[in-house]
Amino acid sequence: MSHVSAARPGPHVLAVAKPSPLLAPRLNATFNVHALDPATLAAIAPQIRGIFASGESKVPAELIKQLPALEIISVMGVGYDGIDVAAAKARGAVVTHTPDVLNDDVADLAIGLMLSTARQLPAADRHVREGHWPQGPMPLARKMSGARVGIVGLGRIGQAIAQRALGFNMTVAYTARSAKPALPWTYLPSAAALAAVSDFLVVITPGGAGTLKLIDAEVLAALGSSSPQKGILINVARGSVVDEAALIDALEQGVIAGAGLDVFENEPQVPERLRALPQVVLTPHIGSATAQTRQAMADLAFDNLQLGLAGQPARTPVPECRL
């Protein structure tokens, strides 16, 4: 990757995220890849035809406006809430992402966080590792099989979570922007209504303005009222979807029983108050982070970039950019 305009062949691509080692060799062999650097951006901007981004990248309108030759923004991730799609379209550029190939991993992690939180797996590991077992058993945990799961966002990943929950004999209900009459699960019209009948509330919507703090104090209070045991929140969507301050209050005050969180408002910073809570299981945004899935995502992101820069239709444009 170079920081200045190079004399290599191939279209010029701006990498706003560091390309994964699974992708970097092919990117560098095919394109003139430039790291985003404010010091050199003005010099290379007129030549930039593609952007490589990750699911957490920010590509604001101010950046897009500086790139008159931009044709494609290829996101290696399914979420693209950091990309100003309207500005890209106004520039005539297509935005692509990597849906479906990560459904299994993110759904697996959601189930893993449900089990980890209910059965206190991190605490159980510490109980053995730190030598507490000879002094006595752990407190009893909570059963997951047969419980009620409410899924907030029944899209590609939400449906994969529902399928897995059936294997645990769970009762599945959901909320989304619209009901899915073809699917066998119960639709509820709001996150609060769903939380009130859920032992586990699993959040798996996109981020962005449409879902900002969708899980607020009212939803958490409803989750707390769902049973005498109180409900558990799982978030594998985006940190922005949950009001993190309200969540910490709810956990500290015992309004809900616990939480399993893969995503946070201000990653990679996680508030000390949250990290101090024993009833919370925390993972560092690893929903799609297996070698197999990251390879599939890298392949799809590369194909999209290559096709787009060859003037051909990309494999997986975001819905707003589909013809």
Binding site for ligand NAP (CB under 6 A): 78-79, 99, 102, 106, 152-158, 175-178, 204-207, 210-211, 214, 236-238, 262-263, 285, 287-288
Least distance between ligand NAP and beta carbon 244 (Å): 15
Q: Is 132 a catalytic residue?
A: no
Least distance between ligand NAP and beta carbon 235 (Å): 8
Burial class (CB in 10 A: 0-12, 13-18, 19+), 92: exposed
Question: Taking the CB of residue 193, how many other CB atoms lie within 10 A of it?
Answer: 16
Calculate the alpha carbon distances from 277 to 118, 151, 207, 246 in Å: 14, 24, 25, 14
Least distance between ligand NAP and beta carbon 106 (Å): 4
Set 91, 127, 285, 315: catalytic member: 285
Tokens for 147? 């419980």
By beta-carbon proximity to ligand NAP, the closer residue of 89 and 180 is 180
Least distance between ligand NAP and beta carbon 236 (Å): 4
Set 238, 244, 265, 294: catalytic member: 238
By beta-carbon proximity to ligand NAP, the closer residue of 146 and 210 is 210
Q: Is 3 a catalytic residue?
A: no
Q: Sign of torsion, CA 268 274 277 282?
A: negative
By beta-carbon proximity to ligand NAP, the closer residue of 140 and 182 is 182
Q: Is 238 a catalytic residue?
A: yes
By beta-carbon proximity to ligand NAP, the closer residue of 158 and 224 is 158
Nearest 5 degrees, angle CA 248-CA 252-CA 258?
75
Residues forming the active site: 238, 267, 285
